[in-house]
Structure 1
Amino acid sequence: MPSRTDEKWRHGAVLLDPEHTRFALWAPDAYHVSVEIEGGPSRALLPQEDGWFVLETRCSAGSRYRYKIDEDLLVPDPASRAQVSEVHGASVVVDPHAYSWQHAGWSGRPWHEAVIYELHVGALGGFAGVEQRLQHLVDIGVTAIELMPIAQFPGNRNWGYDGVLPYAPQSSYGTPEQLKHLIDTAHGVGLAVILDVVYNHFGPDGNYLGRYAKHFFRSDKKTPWGDAIDFRRREVRDFFIDNTLMWLQDYRFDGLRFDAVHAIEDPTFLKELAERVRQDIPPTRHVWLMLENEFNQAHRLEQGYDAQWNDDGHNTLHVLLTGETDAYYTDFAQQPTHKLARLQGEGFVYQGEPTRHGHTRGEPSAHLPPTSFVLFLQNHDQIGNRALGERLVQLCAPQALQAATALLLLSPMIPLMFMGDEWGASEPFLFFTDFHDELADAVREGRRGEFADFAAFADPAQRERIPDPNALQTFEASRPAFDALLLETDKGQDHRNWLALYKTLLQVRQDHLVPRLKGARALGAEVLADKAVSARWKMGDGSVLRIDLNLGAHAVEIDPHRVQQVLHESHPKSAELSQRGTLNPYTAIVSLISSDVVEEQDEQ
C-alpha cells in the first residue's frame, strides 16, 4: 500500500483554533474547488498533489458552508461533521472539543460482559428519547446499547443504511453535542455504546462523490447497491479509517459494528482498519469491533475483531421455532436440529458447505471461543426484512420462545436483543424510508418485489399488502409502545411476565456465567431428538455449563442431571424430571457442574 496521506490533509473541515478552519476535499476530477461560507465571500481551495484541494482560512465553529465544484455544482462536504438539516444542504464546522464530558474516566467494559440491546434512534425519539430508556435497560441487565446507523441520510426517517455523509450524525435525531450527551449519560449508568457503521456503500440520494472523485468507486466490481467502493486507494481507505477513529475518539463510542463487510471488495482494508484502531486507541480502553459477514470468515476474528453477528444462529432457531423455510431459510430447512447442535458446539453452521445457490460459504470455526459469536433471536434485519415486520411472539408458541430465550441469554455466546424483545412487544418493525418522487416509487416496488420468493406473497396482489416504506404511518407503526407495560389487562401482564423473565435470566448470567466466561470453550453438542439438543462448555474456571434444550412438542429422554447446580429451568418441575432422565416439551434446563465435581468425574 502507498503511505498514508499527509496527516494535515484529513478529509473535511478541521477546526485549527477558535478562529481558523482547514478545509480539505479530495476531488481528483475537479478543475476548481471553492468553499462557500455562509455570510462571507467564496474562497478558492488550493490544488495539491494527488487530487487534493486545501485551504486554511478564518472560520469558526458553527459556520455553515458548502463546496462549489468547477464553478457549477454546490455540494455538502462528504466528510461533513454535521448538517444544518438535510443531505443536499449546508454542512457545519464542528468543534470536537466543545462538549464537557462528565464521565471522562470511563474506560469501557470487557467484551465478555456484553449483553447488547439493538435500537433504532429515530423510533425511540432521537438521542434525547434514547436517554430516557437507559435506566430501564440497566434495570433489566443490559450492559451495552447498539445504535442502528446514524450517518446523515435523505429525509427524516430511515433505517440508516441509506446514509451518504458518514461523519455527520443525523440532524433529525439531534446535534453532535446531544449525541455526546447520550453517550456520556450511558457511561454514567454503566452502559457501553456501540454504533453500527456502513462502509460498503452509500445511499441512493445525496452522494455527489462520483461527480468529482469518480475513482472513489470501481465500475468493475458491483455490490447490491451499485459500484463497489475502491478501497485500493489510500484516500478512500483513510476516509473510512478516520471516520472510525472519529466515532471512537471524539464521541467516545465503545465499539462499532461493521455492516455487511462481505461487500467490501478489498480484504486488506479490514485488517488495516482493525490494526489502526488497536494502535491508536489506548490499551486501557475496552473497544469492541464486530462484523456482519455473510462469508463466515473465521480468520477475521483472529485479526483484531472481537466477534461476528451469527446469522446462522438466528436462521437455525427461526426454522425450528416457526417451521418457515422460504427464501434464505431454505439453507436451514434440512436437519435444523443437527445445525443447532453444530451452532452450539462449533460457532458457525456453514463452515465451507454449499448453500442453496451452490456457493460454498464459511470457514472452520470450532477453534474460536464462544464469545466470538453474537447470538440473537431477532434483530432489525430479521424482523424488518419480513414483509409485515412480525416478531417471534406472533410466530411461534410462547413456551418455545421462552426456552429459546433461555438459550440466548445463558449460552456463552454474546447475546443481542432488539428493542422491545425484553417485554414481548407486538408492534412490528417495518422497513421505512423518506424518499420522494421516482425514487420513492422505485423503493416501494423494489420492496414488494423482494418477497416474490415467499409463498405468502407469490401472488402480486398479495404483495400490495406490504406497507409503503415512505408512508409516515409505516414509521409510526414501528415505534415500540412501552406504555403497554403499564396496562392493567391480561396483555399488560403478559408484557410484564416477559420482562420478569429477561431480568431473571440476565441476573443469572451476571451472577454465574460472566465471572467464568473468559477462557470458555465448547465441549460439543449432541442431538437428543427432533428439535432437542444438549450442549456443554468448559468455562474459564474449569466448571462445565450444560444446556438441555427441547423446542419440540414431545418429551425426550436425556442423561440424568446428577451432581450439579441448576441455574434455570423454563418448565415447572423440569429439574426434578431431568433427574429421572426426561426433558419436557418447550423446555430449557441450564445447569453448572462445579470444577471440583468435574475433576472428580475426570479422575473416575
Structure 2
Amino acid sequence: MGAIPYDGGVAFRVWAPFASSVCVGGTFNSWSTTANALESENNGYWSGDIPEAKLDDRYRYVISGSFISGVQWRTDPYSKHVEDNNEGNGVIVADNFAWNSNIFNMPTWNELVIYELHVASFNRSSQTPGDFSSIISKLNDLKNLGVNAIQLMPIFGFPGDFSLGYNPALPFDIESNYGTPKSFKEFIQTAHDQGFAIILDVVYNHFGPDDLDTSLWRFDGWNENGRGGIYFYNDNRRAFTPFGDRPDFGRGEVRQYIRDNVLMWLEEYRIDGFRFDSTVNIRNIFGNNNDPSNDIPEGWSLMQWINNEINGRMPWKITIAEDLQNNDYITRSTGAGGAGFDSQWGSLFYSALFDAVVPPNDSSRNMDRLRDAILQRFETDGLKRVIYSENHDEVAEINRKVRLPDAIWRGNADSWFARKRSTLAAALVFTSPGIPMIFMGQEFLEWGSWSDRGSLDWNKKDRFSGIWDLYQALIRLRRNWFNNTRGLRGQNVNVHHVNNSDKMLAFHRWENGGPGDDVIVVANFADRNYDSYTIGFPKGGTWFVRFNSDWNGFSPDFGNKAGYDTTAGQPGTHGMPFSGNIGIGPYSVLILSQ
C-alpha cells in the first residue's frame, strides 16, 4: 500500500471504494489532476506504476466520484513522510536504511525499567522543539541513571509545532519537527547500541481531530449521516469518543490499515513494543466497563488479532495497554478470551500511592489501601501491570494537573516535605511487583505542570544531584545490579506488616528465596523517627541495609537517621518466623537483604 519505489519508478496503491477515478498528482507531473491515472482492481483498490516518479518527490491522490463535486486532493493514508504544510503532500521514501550488524536483545520484562518521554519537551533548545537527535545527546545520562527502556509519546505528524501527540491524522507519518524516517531509524539504532529498548505510544482509539480534512475524512467522498466516511464509524459508535473520530474497527480494510501500521513500526523501524492509548475506547462506545451492551466486539477482536500477530512473529516484543479499568481480560491470553496484551497501566496502584503521599496530614494516609495496591495484580502475574507515581496524563497542564512534588505542596515543590514524600513514592514504585516507569524529569525533581510547549529544566540535574542519585540507587537495586536484591525482580510479595495507626508498612519480596534474593522493604509514611522498630523477617541472621532514603547524601537536609544493619532472631512477629529491629527516618524507606 502507498508509494512503493522500485528500480525504474514508483508503484502506487490506494483504497477508495467509492471513487470513479484516482490519479496521482505530484512534482513529477507538475501536479496534474489527470496525467497519471491508477487502474481499478475492482475490489475498492486502485493501483499503477509511474516511471517518472522517484524518491523525494511530493505527491497526493486526486479523487473524483459521485459523492464529490469536481475533484478532491487527498494525502496518502500510508505515507511515511508528509510535508508540514497545509496541503499535506506525501514524500516518496524508501526503506533502505543501513542497519549495523549489532544484535539488540530485548531485556526480560522483569528487568525492564521504563522512562516515558515526550520528544519535543524532553531536551528543547530555546524555543525549538526537541527532536530525535536531542534525545540521542542525553542517552548517556539515561544510561547512567539505569533505565533500559524509553517509551516515546506519539510521534505521528500533527499541525503546528506543538502537540502531546494524541491527535493522529496519518499514523504512518512521523512528525517533521522530530525528524524523518531516516533520523528515527538512526535514533533507534543508537538507542539499541546503548542497550535501550524503544516502546512507541500508538493511538488507534481515534484519528484526528486535526488534519483530517486533507487526509482520512471522507477520503473518497462517501459518508453516512454527515460523518467521516470509509475510515470511520458513521453511526453512534463514532459520536462518543472524547478526542477525535473512532475508526471503523469492523471494516476489513481499516483493520488491515491499523495492523499494517503496527507491523511497519516493528519490522521496518525495529521498535521493541507498544503502549496502546486508551484501549477502553477501542472496545467500548463510552469508554468504560459499565454496560456490556455498549461494547464494540470488533474492537476487541482487532486487539486480539494484533497481539496474536506480534506474538506469532516477535513474541519478545511487549504490548502495554492503557485501559485504566483494571480489567483482567486486557492482559489475559487471547486463547482464554482476553485481549492478549502483555501488561497494562496500573491505575489502582497509582491512585493509592498518590493518596498516601499527597495529603498534608499523616492521619489521612490509608495503609490498608496501599497494602491492597501493592498486592493487586492481573491474574497471577505481577509483571502484567506497569506502575508509576507520575505519567504524562497525571502531570499535564492540559488536564490541570501538576508534578507530584507540587501536588504535595503547591508552590513549594523543593521543600523538605515534597522531596521526602515524592521520593517515598518513587521507592514504592521500584520495590513493588510490576514493571516500574517514571516520567521524564522525576529523577531530578521536576515540578509544575508539564506542557508540550515547555522543556525539562536540565539544570535541576545538578541542583538536585542527590535526588538523581536516589533514583539511580533505586533503579540499580530494582535491576539487581549488585546481585543482592534479586527478589525485587521476582513475582512474590507478602505485605506482612501494616500499622495504620503509626503509618508503617513492611513487605517481603523474593524470586526463589535465600541470600541475595529475599528482600525486606520498610516504609514510614509519617513525620516521625524510630530508633528501634520491630518487624518480621523471613530468615534469621544479619540483614544489611542496601538503601536508606533518609541518607543525607541524597540531600543535606535529610535526617540521616541510622537505618542500621540488623540481626533477625526468634521469636518471630507479623506472621514471620524471625524478628529484628530497624531504625528509620520520617517519610523514608529502607531496603534490606542478606
TM-score by length of 1: 0.77
Match of 2:406 among 390, 394, 397: 394
**C-alpha distance 388-568 of structure 1, shift in aligned 2 (>3 A):** same
Amino acid at match of 1:90: N
Assess if the C-alpha contact under 8 Å between 1:86 and 1:153 holds in 2: no
Matches within 5 A, 1:112-191: 112-123=110-121, 124=123, 125-191=130-196
Assess if the C-alpha contact under 8 Å between 1:153 and 1:160 holds in 2: yes
Tell me by how many angstroms 1:389 deviates.
Answer: 5.0
Match of 1:47 among 40, 45, 49: 40
CA deviations over 1:238-267 (Å, ceiling 9, x no partner): 111111111111111111111111100321
Tell me by how many angstroms 1:415 deviates.
Answer: 1.1
Question: Does 2:339 align with 1:311?
Answer: no
Equivalent position of 1:538 in the other structure: 510
- Give the secondary-structure state (helix, strand or coil) at the position aligned to 1:567: strand
Equivalent position of 2:63 in the other structure: 69
- Give the secondary-structure state (helix, strand or coil) at the position aligned to 2:173: strand
Tell me by how many angstroms 1:128 deviates.
Answer: 0.8
**C-alpha distance 118-226 of structure 1, shift in aligned 2 (>3 A):** closer
Match of 1:481 among 457, 470, 475: 457
In 2: Cα distance, 1:376 partner to 1:36 partner: 48
Equivalent position of 1:27 in the other structure: 16
CA deviations over 1:118-151 (Å, ceiling 9, x no partner): 1111112101111101010001101111111001
Equivalent position of 2:357 in the other structure: 321
Tell me by how many angstroms 1:395 deviates.
Answer: 2.9
**C-alpha distance 581-184 of structure 1, shift in aligned 2 (>3 A):** closer
Equivalent position of 1:379 in the other structure: 391
Question: Does 2:465 align with 1:496?
Answer: yes
Assess if the C-alpha contact under 8 Å between 2:505 and 2:522 holds in 1: yes
CA deviations over 1:572-598 (Å, ceiling 9, x no partner): 2134699436654312122336xxxxx
Q: Which runs of 5+ in 2 are unaligned?
A: 65-69, 124-129, 221-228, 284-298, 334-339, 409-416, 551-560, 567-578
Question: Does 2:250 align with 1:232?
Answer: yes
- Give the secondary-structure state (helix, strand or coil) at the position aligned to 2:303: helix
**Identity in percent:** 29
Amino acid at match of 2:111: E
**C-alpha distance 341-158 of structure 1, shift in aligned 2 (>3 A):** same
In 2: Cα distance, 1:546 partner to 1:117 partner: 25
Equivalent position of 2:586 in the other structure: 585
Amino acid at match of 1:121: V
Equivalent position of 2:576 in the other structure: none
CA deviations over 1:186-232 (Å, ceiling 9, x no partner): 11111111111101111212113231361322222132125432111
Match of 2:282 among 264, 280, 299: 264
Amino acid at match of 1:114: L
In 1: Cα distance, 2:349 partner to 2:194 partner: 30
Assess if the C-alpha contact under 8 Å between 2:545 and 2:563 holds in 1: no
In 2: Cα distance, 1:386 partner to 1:62 partner: 37
- State which structure, 1 or 2, has the greater radius of gyration over its C-alpha atoms: 2
Equivalent position of 1:7 in the other structure: none
In 2: Cα distance, 1:576 partner to 1:544 partner: 15
Match of 2:231 among 196, 216, 233: 216
Assess if the C-alpha contact under 8 Å between 2:17 and 2:44 holds in 1: yes
Amino acid at match of 1:236: V
**C-alpha distance 39-141 of structure 1, shift in aligned 2 (>3 A):** same
Match of 1:529 among 493, 500, 517: 500
In 2: Cα distance, 1:386 partner to 1:72 partner: 39
**C-alpha distance 274-546 of structure 1, shift in aligned 2 (>3 A):** same
Question: Does 2:49 align with 1:56?
Answer: yes
In 1: Cα distance, 2:389 partner to 2:311 partner: 31
Tell me by how many angstroms 1:30 deviates.
Answer: 2.5
Q: Which runs of 5+ in 1 are unaligned?
A: 1-9, 326-332, 348-364, 433-474, 487-491, 594-604
In 2: Cα distance, 1:417 partner to 1:166 partner: 26
**C-alpha distance 52-513 of structure 1, shift in aligned 2 (>3 A):** farther
Tell me by how many angstroms 1:427 deviates.
Answer: 5.3
Assess if the C-alpha contact under 8 Å between 1:115 and 1:414 holds in 2: yes
**C-alpha distance 52-104 of structure 1, shift in aligned 2 (>3 A):** farther
**C-alpha distance 386-539 of structure 1, shift in aligned 2 (>3 A):** farther
Equivalent position of 2:380 in the other structure: 368
Q: CA RMSD in A?
A: 2.7
Tell me by how many angstroms 1:567 deviates.
Answer: 2.6
Matches within 5 A, 1:393-542: 393-396=405-408, 397=417, 398-426=419-447, 428-430=449-451, 432=452, 475=453, 478-486=454-462, 492=463, 495-510=464-479, 511=481, 512=483, 515=486, 520-524=491-495, 527-529=498-500, 531-540=503-512
Assess if the C-alpha contact under 8 Å between 1:520 and 1:540 holds in 2: no
Equivalent position of 2:548 in the other structure: 569
CA deviations over 1:307-364 (Å, ceiling 9, x no partner): 1111222222112211299xxxxxxx998432211111123xxxxxxxxxxxxxxxxx
CA deviations over 1:160-182 (Å, ceiling 9, x no partner): 00121101110111111111111
In 1: Cα distance, 2:304 partner to 2:324 partner: 17
Assess if the C-alpha contact under 8 Å between 1:574 and 1:583 holds in 2: yes
Report which stretch shifted further, 509-518 or 261-270.
Answer: 509-518
